[in-house]
Structure 1
């Protein structure tokens, strides 16, 4: 039996149950707190449903976030 996947804080993960990609914000009890990459409300994810996000997903979101900030001069 393999060890359970435990994502690190700040890591980008894919939640197969909610079909969303987000950033790990913390661990509370048996759940992982995940926030959408473009901001928004955190959700509690079952660690058994999480996998490291494909690099393409993480990069696409990061570029979109940066482009949004540059629009406002941030």
Structure 2
């Protein structure tokens, strides 16, 4: 399953938990926790990185396809 949502200020994608941690550590992503519980495979990509949204969407789709094969 791959889902991408675009809020007013962020793109939300599903990627591996390791990738979420990388993006957050790099400052390119923010934890997604709309219920006060961290979603380990979801990350918000702020609007300031919108020039890279296509790359992030492709990454999310690739991740979803890899999970489907398992």
TM-score tier, shorter chain, comes to 0.3 to 0.5
Q: TM-score, normalised by structure 2?
A: 0.34
**Greater relative contact order (CA < 8 Å, ≥ 6 in sequence):** 2
In terms of Rg, which structure is larger? 1
Q: TM-score, normalised by structure 1?
A: 0.33
The structure carrying a bigger strand percent of its residues is 1
The structure carrying a bigger helix percent of its residues is 2
